[in-house]
């Protein structure tokens, strides 16, 4: 195995621009904010509930996008997400067989 070390000059590192990188890759930068229970009352649920291993942004985006793709929906329809409390959706948690699972619901415009 060959290991190479990369040296990045400070001036080059400062020039990194996520918008330029995304454009070069043909990707789109997505930002889905977390909502409170009160804020989510103004929106409708999009897709189904999702269990995630960790309540971090990469997991929430990854598992959410997979669920939305299955349901033929898009992240463009999502305006926010909410990590549900342990007392919410007991039937879903019972089906999972894991009562303390981290469950996320995604919301879109009415």
Residue 71, domain extent: 32-108
| CB-facing half-sphere around the CA of 101: CA atoms within 13 A | 20
The 10s digit of each residue's pLDDT in 77-93 is 899 999 999 999 989 98
- What's the rounded Cα separation, in Å, for the pair 24 and 45? 33
Total of domains in the chain: 1
Strand order in the sheet with 102-108: 44-52, 102-108, 80-83
pLDDT higher than 90, residue 69:
yes
Single pTM value for the model: 0.74
The reply to whether 2 falls in a domain is no
Residue 57 contacts by C-beta under 8 Å, 6 or more apart in sequence? none
Which element (helix H / strand E) includes 58? helix 57-70
Task: Evaluate whether residue 4 is within a structural domain.
Answer: no
């Amino acid at each position: 195995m060959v290991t190479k070390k990369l040296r990045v000059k400070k001036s080059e590192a400062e020039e990194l621009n996520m918008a330029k990188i995304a454009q070069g890759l043909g990707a789109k930068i997505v930002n889905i904010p977390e909502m409170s229970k009160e804020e989510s009352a103004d929106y409708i649920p999009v897709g189904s509930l999702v269990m995630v291993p960790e309540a971090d942004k990469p997991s929430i985006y990854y598992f959410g996008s997979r669920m939305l793709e299955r349901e033929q929906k898009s992240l463009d329809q999502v305006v926010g997400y909410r990590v549900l409390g342990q007392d919410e959706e007991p039937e879903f948690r019972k089906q999972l067989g894991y009562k303390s699972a981290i469950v996320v619901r995604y919301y879109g415009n009415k």
